[in-house]
Amino acid sequence: MSRIIAIWGCPDSGKTTFTVKLAKAIHAEYGSKVICIFADSATPTLPVLFPNMKSSELFSVGDVLSRTEITQTTILKHLVTISDAKEIGFLGFNGGENRHSHPEFSADKAAALYDTAASIADFVIVDCGNKLTGTLGFTAISKADSIIRLCKPDLKSISFFDSQAPLYTDVKFRTDEHITVMNVTEHEAYMPIEEAAQHFKCEKFVIPYAPELGRQAMNGLYFDKVTSKAWNKEMRKIMFMAVGA
């Protein structure tokens, strides 16, 4: 049985990096097939992950969603893969696209996307972006077996969630089920980590700062390994929680 994992969080909380690293961790641990879907059309993810590839070499999830029927073949033809892990595929919006680049699609079409992806892969990881009200993001939340909420130990993150919380009081957003993870994306010496972890009630899941992640993102090397033992230890703990191990 395939498992769907939805990820969302405040701006700059490292959702894209976390999605890629979680996919690689799951693949390394279980040898599983993983499909990563990026729901954000405001900031297309594929040119960020693959900066050295031409736009013509990439594909768009918008094209998949515009089809009358979403089949396994359609998804497989639109996946972008990496050389050292062909079992991990990436599907998102292409460079220069926005929400007006493709026809509007229904929640049923979004559900078909996730169901078909789940029929191909052992795990489907969805980066829902910053908001849960979009069709792709909300549908992922409604179908997910695990939901991870990423936050940062700073005032902007606190302000973001305090602002957004009233929008997600309906049970359909399943906020009581979210696994809250603190992602320390800047040097720990300047971050109120303990205080923020208490505020978000996520003392069990705090990913420590790893300088190499910034360098990887800067150079488009998201798929490189992380050498920090502390970082890998925490990611493995979160991975096991997400996969239901």
Return the CATH number at 14: 3.40.50.300
- pLDDT value of position 218: 87
Terminal C-alpha separation, the chain: 14
d(CA 55, CA 59): 8
Q: Domain residues for 239?
A: 3-243
Q: Is 145 exposed, middle or buried (0-12, 13-18, 19+ CB in 10 A)?
A: middle
Tokens coding 68? 């009358």
- The amino acid occupying position 166 is P
Q: What is the pLDDT of residues 99-122, one digit of tens each?
A: 899 999 999 999 999 999 999 999
- pLDDT value of position 189: 65
d(CA 73, CA 94): 19
d(CA 73, CA 179): 33
- pLDDT value of position 187: 79
DSSP secondary structure of 64-117? HHTSSS--HHHHHHH-EEETTEEEEEEE-PPTT--TTSS----HHHHHHHHHHH
- pLDDT value of position 111: 97
Angle at 43 between CA 40 and CA 49, to 5 degrees: 90
Calculated CA dihedral for residues 63, 72, 57, 50, nearest 10 degrees? 100
Tokens coding 94? 């292409």
Q: What is the pTM of this model?
A: 0.95
- The amino acid occupying position 182 is M
- pLDDT value of position 201: 87
Q: What is the pLDDT of residues 49-87, one digit of tens each?
A: 999 898 888 999 999 999 999 999 999 999 999 888 889
- pLDDT value of position 56: 87
Question: Which regions of the chain are under pLDDT 50?
Answer: none
What's the number of domains the chain is made of?
1
- pLDDT value of position 129: 93
